[in-house]
Amino acid sequence: MAMRGLTQFIADLRELRTYEAEKARINAEIANIKQNFRDNNLNAYKRKKYVAKLAYIYTLGYPVDFDASDILPLLTMPKSHGKQIGYLAMGLMCSDNKSAIERAIPAVEDDLASSSDLNTSMALNFVSAIADPPLELATEIVKLLMSPTSSHSVRKKAALTFLSFYRRDRTVLQPEWTERIIALLDVQDIGVATSVASLIKAIAENDAASAERAAAVAARKLHHLLFEQKVSSEYIYYDVPAPWFIIKLLELIQIPPPTKDEAVSYALHESISMILEWAITVAPGGSTSSSSQSANMRNAVFLEAVNVFVHLDMDDGVLLEHTINSLKRCLEGKDTNLRYLALNSMVALTPFQGIDHLLDPVLALLNDKDISVRRRALDGLYHLCNDENIEHIAASLLDQLSSHELDLREETVVRLSDVIERFATSLKWYVDTTLSLLMVGGSQVPDEVWQRMVQIVVNNDTIQSYATRTALEYAKGPRCSDNTGRVCAYFLGEFGNQIAHEPGCRPGEQFLVLQDLWSICSPPVRYHLLTTYLKFANLFEEIRPQILDVFKLYLDSGDLELQQRSCEYHNLLQPENVYLLPTVCDEMPPFVLKESPLGERLSLKSRSALARQNTLAKSNIVNRNQSLRAQATGKKLTPIITGRGGSFSPSLGSGGSKPQTPTGFPQTIQEEAPAQTPQTTGKSELLSSNWEHGFRQMLTHSEAVLYQDALLQVGCKYEYSKNIGCVILYLKNVSNVALSSVSVQLTNPMESSVLSVSSKSLPASSLRPSAVTEQVIMCEAKQPFALSPIARVTYLAGSLNEMSFRLPITIERFMRPVTLNAQDFAMRWDQIGVAGEFKKDFKNFSLSWQQPIVKDDADALGGLNWGLSVVAGQQNVLFGAGMIQTTSSGNFGCLCRLEFDANRVNYRATVRTTKKLVSVILVKNVSNAYQL
């Protein structure tokens, strides 16, 4: 309902022409409001009107001195319009007033528990916007988020409100909430899922375990969106289903390392391939037929998919080629923002072959009108550099260097100097290009550049004469820069004698060149020249008198440094001190610096930039770029620039790494010791109650119910061939309600070098009553193993439910039964001997079950893949034989002797194998069939 008083007040203010008149009108209104607030009989309508006027006055920038008690009654009003004004005023004028916020909490709690979506939404908006939110409300907000009875709008606001809480204090997130929040990615409403995705991203960036789980769910959801496209029409934007949600999913996928789950990986590859192929079809960056909104959306999805392509390291040459061509069109497009973002994606793609095709478009962007694009293009060139294109890139940058802005010019010089050193094709090219850089760069060249050049030349005997001669030619030019003068002075002082016999390079001519340089250089360069003159006096006695004259000229100089050097050097040239000259002017030793200071400078700058952007760092792009190109070309990454002091170029080293040998089994074992130290599995190690019953059934049966709760039944069936196995899990909804967010997470407690486990398919994310879905799991025994993988099944049915159990993947499944007669069994038993024997006494707990799993001992031993052997005269004893087949460790012959009393209560299992550790594992599994 409109408030006439408020409307008239706003109209009056807008009609006023002067600040003084406006201020007088506002002061009069404030005085009237204060007088009315003193009235105890003030009705709700007037209070609402006066609070609205105060809020309007506050937005105009005038001070409003009112107590929160004048506003708080609006929060408890039954009508939503009054609450709206109250929350608006509290958020504007009291957001940083802790006392006022505390007094408002009871009303906020009532509204959070209200059945009115409008009231709940207003309370959520209020607590998310205040400066210091009451974190004790987090539990109520999470309840709203997870409750299936909450409306979609409330759940969206609850997700974003909790996100604001989490950003202020990460401890507000309880560990048991994480799984339930991640599961909400699978909700049907895209709006809720998009809001939840923002919250999950913040959580995943701070928790590696949550990141892996969220990435798997995001990958499945992305595949579902792209291939099934069961999306409400309101979320389809220019024929693309929920593009902004897709982008959030792609961002989530990039947070953890690439998944090792084959099913998830395959789904991701399909999804990314579809996005990139679709982007190729619509020609990103160059479409004029569609609107700018459509182009922006499609380009955003395409560029994020490129980042995931890099993250997953997808090996698809055709798709990569098309992606590079699409990026090229983006780089040549008219949209400045698109060009900038395309450069970011191009930098990420530099480790891949074929990215060099983008070199010319990137070079063209060095002349872009936007300095941000120019700076990013420079960064892109830095990552594109290699030993094949360095000469082209260096020449192009040198040509354009003088036209760059001063701050960009210095950055260009630093980056160019670094890549010139790292990818130099020859020492002569390095010297020529660096001297050109010193000349063109002028005063924007940092000291590290010329100092690094000096170090490299000093440490390489073969280039000293050439570098000195070339530097002398540059010094003869009319516009010699200070840094070039420093290099020339240093080289002539150290190596001038090596070219003194050449025409134009006689000692006197060298001295005259430096004297000409003296007149145009700055004082710091003159200090270097004086030192060079002293070394000339040591090397060339014929010009010593002229040098003494120079020193005498500056004995009374007003420049203290110039005067001090002249005095010291003049005294050294006196007859009584001349014997010290060879010692003082001795040749400089090789430098021992191992890494370029320019490389360190660039690394520090890169790290600080990433910190400012608050993004996850991409791992070792430059080094990976070098190594991949080296693998493709078959070249070693041996640095060109080396010398007596060792390498002066960052390199990967020339020595190959030694091949790793497979981890062996421990030599000493205990009865229950596993074959390998299990990996830490955290929460996954907490198995559901009574998981043993289904696992024990599967030890001796190839098909059974593995686990079941009130809502979901998990059946299992397996098939094995040699060292390869296939396990199929059947998930059946046995309830009368639909289940959502169904997922199966596998945890392998063994190293992948011992037992390889991977999913080949993913279950359906939702199950109607009586519906069945399946998940196919492949396994490979590479070495004998003791622990079975764990499956963790989660699903939503109002709340998050989970079950964890071990899969029936045991070493016996990879054993081929062997039938032996009594003579052969005894012979092989004796051949193995006690060195490979392990025995254990145990009781048959299976008899305590109403329906015992082990009804017949022969069936039990045969179900464990032992081939039964009959030995005459042996009662209450079973004999078994088999051959375990593994990929890496070969085959293991196994013999078993199972003894039991007449009541089938007390048992003894004795196993002999060619490796005692295998005997320990087999005896344990035999006893498990009776005792789990």
CA–CA separation, 858 and 845 (whole Å): 17
Report whether pLDDT(262) > 90.
no
CA–CA separation, 804 and 782 (whole Å): 25
Q: Are 6 and 47 in contact (CB under 8 A)?
A: no
Q: Which has the closest alpha carbon to 489: 467, 523, 514, 463?
A: 514
Note the maximum CA span of the chain.
120
Confidence of residue 906 (pLDDT cuts 50, 70, 90): confident
- Secondary structure (H, E, C), 265-296: HHHHHHHHHHHHHHHHHHCCCCCCCCCHHHHH
Task: Report the range of poorest mean pLDDT among 1-10, 536-545, 755-764, 904-913.
Answer: 1-10
Task: Report the range of poorest mean pLDDT among 372-381, 516-525, 639-648, 703-712.
Answer: 639-648
- Alpha helix (H) residue ranges in 444-555: 447-458, 464-475, 482-495, 507-518, 523-539, 544-553
DSSP conformational letter for 403 = T
Q: Which residue has the higher pLDDT, 672 or 515?
A: 515
How confident is the model over 162-208, as pLDDT tens digits?
A: 999 999 889 899 988 998 899 888 888 899 999 999 999 999 999 88
Report whether pLDDT(628) > 50.
no
How confident is the model over 457-483, as pLDDT tens digits?
A: 998 889 999 999 999 998 888 778 888
Tell me the average pLDDT across 117-146: 88
Q: Which has the closest alpha carbon to 182: 211, 147, 148?
A: 211
CA dist list (Å): 731 to 281, 462, 739, 767: 39, 74, 11, 9
This prediction's pTM: 0.74
CA–CA separation, 741 and 200 (whole Å): 15
How confident is the model over 821-844, as pLDDT tens digits?
A: 888 888 898 888 888 888 888 887
50 labelled binding-site residue? yes
Report whether pLDDT(850) > 60.
no
53 labelled binding-site residue? yes
CA–CA separation, 861 and 900 (whole Å): 13
Q: Are 248 and 203 in contact (CB under 8 A)?
A: no
Report whether pLDDT(718) > 50.
yes
- Secondary structure (H, E, C), 461-473: HHHHHHHHHHHHH
Report whether pLDDT(601) > 70.
no
737 labelled binding-site residue? no
Q: In the prediction, which pLDDT does 284 show? A: 58
Task: Give the Cα-Cα-Cα angle 764, 766, 769 (nearest 5 degrees).
Answer: 115
83 labelled binding-site residue? no
466 labelled binding-site residue? no
HSE-CB for 908 with a 13 A CA cutoff: 9
Confidence of residue 870 (pLDDT cuts 50, 70, 90): low
- What does pLDDT average to over the chain? 82
CA–CA separation, 864 and 718 (whole Å): 13
Q: In the prediction, which pLDDT does 640 show? A: 47
Report whether pLDDT(240) > 90.
no
5 labelled binding-site residue? yes
CA–CA separation, 241 and 729 (whole Å): 31
How confident is the model over 409-458, as pLDDT tens digits?
A: 888 888 898 899 889 888 999 999 999 999 888 887 888 888 889 999 99
Tell me the average pLDDT across 514-537: 90
Give the torsion sign (CA, 904, 908, 909, 910). Answer: negative
Q: Which has the closest alpha carbon to 117: 173, 86, 155?
A: 155
Q: Are 59 and 88 in contact (CB under 8 A)?
A: no
333 labelled binding-site residue? no
Q: Which has the closest alpha carbon to 781: 725, 727, 826?
A: 725
**Residue 313 CB coordination number (10 Å):** 11
Q: Are 121 and 153 in contact (CB under 8 A)?
A: yes
Q: What is the DSSP string of 185-226?
A: GG-S-HHHHHHHHHHHHHHHTT-HHHHHHHHHHHHHHHHHHH
CA–CA separation, 467 and 471 (whole Å): 6
Tell me the average pLDDT across 315-330: 85
The residues facing 755 across adjacent strands are: 781
CA dist list (Å): 291 to 241, 287, 297, 302, 351: 17, 9, 10, 17, 34
4 labelled binding-site residue? yes
Q: Which residue has the higher pLDDT, 621 or 323?
A: 323
Contacts of 533 (CB under 8 A, 6+ apart): 511, 514, 547, 550, 551, 569
